[in-house]
Structure 1
Amino acid sequence: MMSLQDKLYNWLTIKVVVDARPEDTAARDTMNMFEQLLANENGIQSPEVTMDEDMYYVEVDTNEKQKTYRFPRELIEVMLDQISNEPEKYVNYPDK
């Protein structure tokens, strides 16, 4: 079983891709899967994301408490960087 921090890390990594590539159906489907996991297993509906030059911050409500998780930008943006550097390997296949 994944920890909440792992789920948030995976969700945020793919959310950054979806934000940059809203037409990417595979990324959107993956983000939706992680949102379902967060909602179903942790009761988290709408994580709030902010960032500065070094970090992403994800604030969540768990058991009526707010908690903030921090993730280095270089770790979160690695997938987007890879896609941007080699777009031919990440072709979008639109919904049918």
Structure 2
Amino acid sequence: MRLEDALFNWLQIQIVSAARPDDGAAADTLSFFAQILIEDHQVSHFEIAKTDDTMIHLKYEKDGRSKLQLFPRESAEQLLADIESNPKYN
């Protein structure tokens, strides 16, 4: 899995996990993608640094350097919207 894909997947499930704190599957999936970032890509200290009207700013460290990756907010929040719109998960 490419680093950008792993960051995006972590971001999507982080948004879901924050909105659904009692969702054990979301928490497990969040841990899974965190593990991929740490073990496969040697990324550390990843966090949502800022959210504005159109973008989510994801800050992380790799190779001792601080980096910033921007993702479209609508795309990042789509998984949560899909889950919330499906009565099976509510």
Normalized against structure 2, the TM-score is what?
Answer: 0.91
Q: Secondary structure at the match of 1:53?
A: coil
Segments of 5+ residues of structure 2 without an aligned counterpart are none
Taking the TM superposition and a 5 Å limit, the aligned residue runs for 1:1-96 are 2-49=1-48, 50-86=50-86, 88-90=87-89
Q: Deviations over 1:53-73 (max 9, x none)?
A: 111111111111121111001
Q: Deviations over 1:29-86 (max 9, x none)?
A: 0010000111111222321212111111111111111211110011011111111222
Query: Which structure exhibits the higher relative contact order, with contacts defined as CA atoms closer than 8 Å and separated by 6 or more residues?
Result: 1
Name the one with the larger strand percent: 2
Q: Secondary structure at the match of 1:67?
A: strand
Could you tell me how far apart the structure 1 residues matched to 2:45 and 2:28 are?
Answer: 17
Q: Which aligned runs of 4 or more in structure 1 are off by greater than 3 angstroms?
A: none
| Larger CA deviation: 40-49 vs 10-19 | 40-49
Normalized against structure 1, the TM-score is what?
Answer: 0.86
Identical residues among aligned pairs (%)? 37
